Amino acid sequence: MSDVLAQAVVRIRADGSQLGPDIKRDAGKAAKDAGPPAGRDFGRSFSDAASRTLAASRPKLDLDIARAREKIQSLEDQARKLDAAKIRVDADVVAARKKLATLRDDIEGAAKGKQVKLDADITAARAKIQQIETDLRRVAETKKPQIDLNILKAEDKIRDLQSKLKAATGDAKIRVDAEVAAASAKLKDMERQRAALDGDAIQIKADADTASARAKLTDLERQRASLDGDAVRIQVDAETARARAELDALEAKARRLDGNAVRMRVDAETGAARAKLAELERQINGVGKGGGALGAVTSG
């Protein structure tokens, strides 16, 4: 009986209730009714049983309290992470709205700047091609008179040599014949040079010399065309659609964090864990006070 009563008293104290006058009165009455010797035995047995029960309950309550505090800490960490995520998303939303608001002006401004530079580069490329062609024609026109004169001189020389050749005999004829052949070869070379200075030949050379410059000009003109009104409008529409989609996604994420089911669950679990901790602390305080109450019972 003493064991059962002692455990009941400890549980009552752990539950936070006071030792009622009825329990104290009945326990004392039971001790008196049993007689002084039996009462003392009952009291000692009751006290021993109560001490054992207290000793067994205190470590478990301490462990439960430690676990409750650890859970609260974990839940509070989760709440802080959710708050930090909300701050980051809100900042991203502000940045996305600002980007969307200035996107058209930014793209059109950048396109305008590129247009100006490309126009200058295109003008320079065309001027370079024109300069190459002009230089080639100028050189040709400069060389033509001299080559024409040299051709005339070579032709006169050949005619003179051919006249000498008719009257020459023996070794002299051989020598003059060799001179005629050399002069004829030189004349052919000059005629080739002269032909290279004609209009069509100069154009062919100009096209070859300006091939890389023309390729660069074509690329510049292609880039410039991509910055015309329709092309820029298409780019603006595409970039705006992309930025709007990003903003919509961020705003949806921000709304989820505002009424986040996870955050609500964390807050609810944190509240429940704190309530449980308070209950455990109240219980352990009740156990701590139980020793004094038990002494009052046994001395009743």
pLDDT at 78: 79
* pLDDT value of residue 25: 53
Q: What's residue 2's pLDDT?
A: 45
Q: What is the per-residue pLDDT for 225?
A: 87
pLDDT at res. 72: 83
Q: Using N-to-C axis directions, what is the helix angle for 170-195 and 36-167, rounded to 10°?
A: 140
In the block, which residue shows the tokens 């300069």? 131
Give the pLDDT confidence score for residue 45 in this predicted structure: 62
Q: DSSP class of residue 228?
A: S
Where in the sequence is the domain holding 276, given as residue range(s)?
Answer: 2-299
pLDDT tens string, the chain, 300 residues long: the values are 445 454 554 454 444 444 445 544 555 555 555 555 555 555 566 555 555 555 555 677 778 788 888 888 888 887 788 778 888 888 888 988 888 888 878 888 888 888 889 999 999 999 999 998 888 888 888 888 888 898 899 998 888 888 888 878 788 888 888 988 999 999 999 888 888 888 778 888 888 888 989 999 999 999 888 887 777 778 788 888 888 898 899 888 887 777 666 667 777 788 888 888 787 778 777 655 555 444 444 444
Kindly report the pTM of this predicted structure.
0.39
Question: Chain centroid to CA 254: how far?
Answer: 19
Give the span between the Cα atoms of 189 and 147, in whole angstroms. 10
DSSP letters of 147-199?
HHHHHHHHHHHHHHHHHHHHH--HHHHHHHHHHHHHHHHHHHHHHHHHHTTSH
| pLDDT of res. 36 | 57
According to DSSP, residue 230 is labeled H
Question: Minimal CA–CA distance to 269: which of 76, 49, 46?
Answer: 76
- CA Rg value for the chain: 56
Domain count, the chain: 1
Residues 19, 8 contacting (CB under 8 angstroms): no
Query: CA 191 → CA 147, 148, 185, distances in Å?
Result: 8, 8, 10
